[in-house]
């Protein structure tokens, strides 16, 4: 167990050192996109189509939010479980929340990613995924569906 923890810490620290620069600086510090001459429903449809094509499930939708995610697998799941859970918790899930809102003829989107696991007695532990690699992945996703 001690050996596994050392390996996890080394992998984590290497990930911190090997950070890419952000491809887009935003006021919120999170991935953001602007869609011109459209409406919220059209942008929500683009997001849903994009996330489903990437193998994620839509878990919740409201008038201004989409929450999607998938159960983690393999080494990622083991590492995530060490961060947010224990051997009795559920397999961690990688989740993303897209907040979508209309401003005039533009629709703006902000994305937020985290992992979560439910403990044996029902408590849900979460950890934000806010490294540059994760932010760039979400930013590139927004670009791929037409955001500026």
Please tell me the least confidently modeled range out of 11-20, 97-106, 123-132, 133-142. 11-20
Q: Which domain holds residue 41?
A: 32-144
Residue 106's H or E segment, with its range, is: strand 106-118
Higher pLDDT, 48 or 3: 48
pLDDT above 60 (res 1): no
The verdict on residue 84 lying in a domain is yes
Q: CATH number of the domain that 77 lies in?
A: 3.30.310.80
The pTM of the full predicted model, rounded to 2 decimals, is 0.85
Overall average pLDDT of the 118-147 stretch: 95
Give the three-class secondary structure for 88: coil
The verdict on residue 22 lying in a domain is no
The verdict on residue 6 lying in a domain is no
The verdict on residue 3 lying in a domain is no
Number of domains forming the structure of the chain: 1
Please tell me the distance from the alpha carbon of residue 55 to that of residue 22, in angstroms, as a whole number. 25
Please tell me the distance from the alpha carbon of residue 47 to that of residue 51, in angstroms, as a whole number. 6
The verdict on residue 11 lying in a domain is no
The pairing of strands 106-118 and 93-103 is antiparallel
The verdict on residue 78 lying in a domain is yes
Overall average pLDDT of the 24-34 stretch: 95
């Amino acid at each position: 167990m001690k050996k596994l923890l050392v390996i996890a810490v080394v992998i984590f620290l290497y990930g911190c050192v090997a950070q890419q620069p952000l491809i887009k600086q935003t006021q919120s510090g999170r991935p953001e996109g602007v869609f011109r001459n459209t409406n919220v429903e059209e942008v929500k449809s683009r997001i849903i189509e994009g996330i489903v094509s990437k193998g994620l499930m839509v878990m919740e939708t409201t008038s201004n939010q989409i929450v999607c995610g998938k159960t983690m697998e393999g080494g990622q799941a083991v590492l995530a479980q060490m961060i947010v859970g224990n051997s009795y918790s559920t397999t961690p899930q990688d989740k993303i929340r897209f907040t979508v809102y209309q401003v005039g003829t533009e629709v703006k989107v902000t994305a937020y990613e985290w992992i979560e696991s439910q403990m044996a007695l029902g408590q849900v532990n979460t950890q934000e995924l806010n490294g540059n690699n994760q932010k760039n992945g979400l930013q590139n996703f927004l670009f791929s569906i037409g955001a500026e």
